Structure 1
Amino acid sequence: MKKVLIIDDAAFMRMSIKMMLEKNGFEVVGEAEDGIEGVKKYKKLKPDIVTMDITMPTMTGLEALINIKEFDPQAKIVMVSAMGQENMVREAIMQGANTFIVKPFKEEHIVEILNKILAI
Structure 2
Amino acid sequence: MAKKVLIVDDAAFMRMMIKDILSKNGYEVVGEAADGNQAVEKYKEFSPDLVTLDITMPEKDGIAALKEIIAHDGQAKVIMCSAMGQQSMVIDAIQSGAKDFIVKPFQADRVLEAIEKTLA
TM interval, short-chain normalised: over 0.9
**Aligned pairs for 1:31-110 within 5 A:** 31-110=32-111
Percent of matched pairs sharing the same residue: 59
Give 2:12's aligned residue.
11
Name the CA distance, whole Å, in 2 between partners of 1:81 and 1:105.
10
Question: Aligned with 2:56: secondary structure?
Answer: coil
Name the CA distance, whole Å, in 2 between partners of 1:88 and 1:75.
19
Question: Aligned with 2:32: secondary structure?
Answer: strand
Q: After the TM superposition, which segments of 4 or more aligned residues of structure 1 sit over 6 Å from their partners?
A: none
Q: TM-score under structure 1 normalisation?
A: 0.98
CA-to-partner distance for each residue in 1:67-119, whole Å, 9 max, x for gaps? Answer: 00000010000000000101100000000000111111211110111011101
Q: TM-score under structure 2 normalisation?
A: 0.98
Give 2:28's aligned residue.
27
Unmatched segments (≥5 aa) in structure 1? none
Write the letter of the residue equivalent to 2:84: M
Range moving further from structure 2, 104-113 or 57-66: 104-113
Name the CA distance, whole Å, in 2 between partners of 1:85 and 1:113.
18
Name the CA distance, whole Å, in 2 between partners of 1:118 and 1:37.
23
| Number of equivalent positions | 119
Name the CA distance, whole Å, in 2 between partners of 1:18 and 1:58.
23
Residue 3 of structure 1: how far off its partner (Å): 0.3
Question: Aligned with 2:80: secondary structure?
Answer: strand
